[in-house]
């Protein structure tokens, strides 16, 4: 450092920090030899903390406001330096400005696919990514646990550790949630709340507050996604026969509007063959004989028991043998209730009508 710069800093009596970045979390105020003039003004803006470090030991933490650096305003530092009787000379101390604003849109994501057990598809591999927000709530703990003696500390230096925490806990949360893969998109908010509640205390150990974790996407491997797309397409097709008819009609319309001679003829020929096959299938199915009807059968009442079923021919034999008469109750699946055999049209003709006597000779 040149002589002019050294002399300039000797006379500068305002200590402040204006952050012109979006990712600086800690900034150490640079002063030649760490010398600070007695009575210098310290300006701590909103969403900032100022931490005094004396010989490697944290002395004072000041919140937003304007301070005149005197012994009475720095009680801890005064005690460390044995300034009980007043002190008006420059003193040596490091000043760290802590950015306490909320750092948003920090990214997280799984480096490797997570293997989970799905209730519908079995074992599945999924990837996930999203973003999260943090802010410093305990400056002393943050400096001691994370920053150390780093003069300029950015979010990039801590994001890897925080990202690993999130992805590790995400695997546990998703594995224990029991949410099917196809329903995860409807539960992104719920998963984010679970993650925030689960990881928040661990961030607190670093002096950080985890504001929220957002799950933006949970994706499947390309092969699985392709299989699901095919499955969805099959479900949307519905009646395959109607779909083929529709596609044939579209092809015919396109062929009719195509003036490219040979191409139109080729398309027309293909469509004609397809339609011929469809018509042959339709005619073939229309000309097929109907199924042979089943023979009519009846159950016959025998006291409180039901016997049978018997074909009409078998019942005719029982009538001739005297085992049944017109009052015997019968039933078939086409009847709503038991009825007398003589009242059933299919059986009434089996009972002999009274034979009239032959006429007398004239």
What DSSP string describes 219-287? E--HHHHHHHHHHHHHHHH--HHHHHHHHHHHHHHHHHH---HHHHHHHHHHHHHHHHHHHHHHHHHHH
Final residue of a structural domain among 167, 189, 220: 220
Compute the 3-state secondary structure of the chain and give helix, strand, coil in percent, each to the nearest 5: 45, 25, 30
Whether 231 maps to a domain, the answer reads: no
If asked whether residues 26 and 55 sit together in one domain, one would say: yes
Final residue of a structural domain among 164, 192, 220: 220
- Here the tokens at position 268 are 């027309």
Give the number of C-alpha atoms closer than 13 A to the C-alpha of residue 272, restricted to the C-beta side.
Answer: 7
Token pair 């990039």 is found at: 156
Final residue of a structural domain among 65, 83, 99: 99
If asked whether residues 204 and 114 sit together in one domain, one would say: yes
**Which residues, other chains included, contact 360 with Cβ-Cβ below 8 Å and sequence gap of 6+?**
none
**How confident is the model at residue 90, as a pLDDT?**
59
DSSP, collapsed to helix, strand or coil, labels residue 63 as coil
Whether 245 maps to a domain, the answer reads: no
**How confident is the model at residue 91, as a pLDDT?**
62
Between strands 14-15 and 41-44, the pairing is: parallel
Whether 190 maps to a domain, the answer reads: yes
Q: Which residues pair with 213 in a beta bridge?
A: 132
If asked whether residues 132 and 163 sit together in one domain, one would say: yes
pLDDT tens readout for residues 151-194: 788 888 888 888 888 888 888 888 777 788 778 888 888 888 88
If asked whether residues 152 and 214 sit together in one domain, one would say: yes
If asked whether residues 47 and 83 sit together in one domain, one would say: yes
Residue 123's CB is within 10 A of a number of other CB atoms, namely 8
If asked whether residues 42 and 75 sit together in one domain, one would say: yes
**How confident is the model at residue 260, as a pLDDT?**
54
If asked whether residues 129 and 163 sit together in one domain, one would say: yes
Whether 140 maps to a domain, the answer reads: yes
Mean pLDDT by 10 residues, the chain (362 residues): 44 77 87 66 89 77 83 50 48 83 90 79 83 91 82 85 86 78 83 88 91 87 75 63 67 64 54 57 56 75 81 84 84 83 79 61 60
If asked whether residues 44 and 87 sit together in one domain, one would say: yes
Whether 327 maps to a domain, the answer reads: yes
Can you give the residue range of the structural domain that contains 93?
Answer: 3-99
If asked whether residues 112 and 88 sit together in one domain, one would say: no
If asked whether residues 136 and 157 sit together in one domain, one would say: yes
Residue 132's CB is within 10 A of a number of other CB atoms, namely 25
With beta carbons less than 8 A apart as the criterion, state whether 232 and 220 touch. no
Cα–Cα distances (Å) from 162 to 101, 106, 136, 170, 203, in that order, read: 17, 10, 13, 12, 8
User: Is the pTM for the entire model greater than 0.85?
Assistant: no
Whether 177 maps to a domain, the answer reads: yes
For 42, phi then psi, to 5°, come to -110, 125
CATH number of the CATH domain containing 185: 3.30.479.30
Whether 268 maps to a domain, the answer reads: no
- Number of folded domains in the chain? 3
């Amino acid at each position: 450092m040149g002589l002019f710069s050294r002399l300039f800093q000797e006379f500068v009596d305002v200590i402040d920090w204006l952050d012109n970045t979006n990712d600086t979390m800690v900034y150490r105020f640079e002063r030649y030899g760490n010398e600070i003039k007695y009575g210098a003004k310290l300006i701590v803006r909103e969403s900032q903390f100022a931490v005094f470090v004396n010989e490697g030991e944290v002395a004072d933490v000041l919140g937003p406001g304007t301070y005149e650096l005197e012994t009475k305003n720095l009680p801890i530092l005064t005690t460390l330096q044995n300034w009980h009787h007043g002190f008006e000379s420059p003193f040596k101390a490091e000043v760290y400005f802590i950015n306490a604003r909320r750092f948003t849109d920090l990214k997280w994501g799984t480096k490797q696919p997570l293997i989970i057990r799905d209730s519908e598809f079995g074992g599945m591999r999924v990837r996930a990514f999203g973003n999260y927000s943090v802010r410093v709530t305990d400056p002393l703990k943050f400096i001691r646990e994370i920053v150390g003696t780093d003069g300029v500390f950015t979010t990039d230096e801590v994001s890897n550790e925080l990202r690993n925490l999130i992805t590790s806990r995400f695997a546990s949360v998703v594995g224990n949630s029991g949410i099917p893969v196809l329903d995860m998109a409807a539960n992104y908010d719920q998963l984010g709340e679970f993650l925030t509640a689960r990881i928040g205390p661990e961030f607190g150990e670093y002096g950080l507050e985890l504001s929220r974790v957002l799950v933006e996407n949970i994706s499947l491997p390309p092969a699985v996604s392709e299989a699901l797309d095919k499955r969805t397409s099959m479900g949307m097709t519905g009646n395959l026969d109607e779909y083929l008819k529709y596609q044939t009609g579209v092809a015919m319309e396109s062929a009719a509007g195509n003036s490219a001679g040979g191409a139109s003829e080729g398309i027309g020929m293909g469509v004609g063959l397809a339609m011929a096959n469809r018509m042959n299938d339709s005619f073939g199915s229309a000309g097929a004989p109907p199924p042979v009807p089943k023979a009519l059968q009846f159950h016959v009442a025998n006291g409180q028991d039901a016997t049978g079923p018997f074909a009409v021919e078998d019942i005719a034999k029982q009538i001739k043998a005297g085992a049944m008469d017109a009052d015997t109750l019968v039933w078939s699946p086409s009847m709503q209730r038991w009825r007398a055999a003589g009242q059933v049209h299919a059986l009434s003709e089996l009972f002999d009508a009274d034979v009239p006597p032959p006429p007398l000779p004239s």
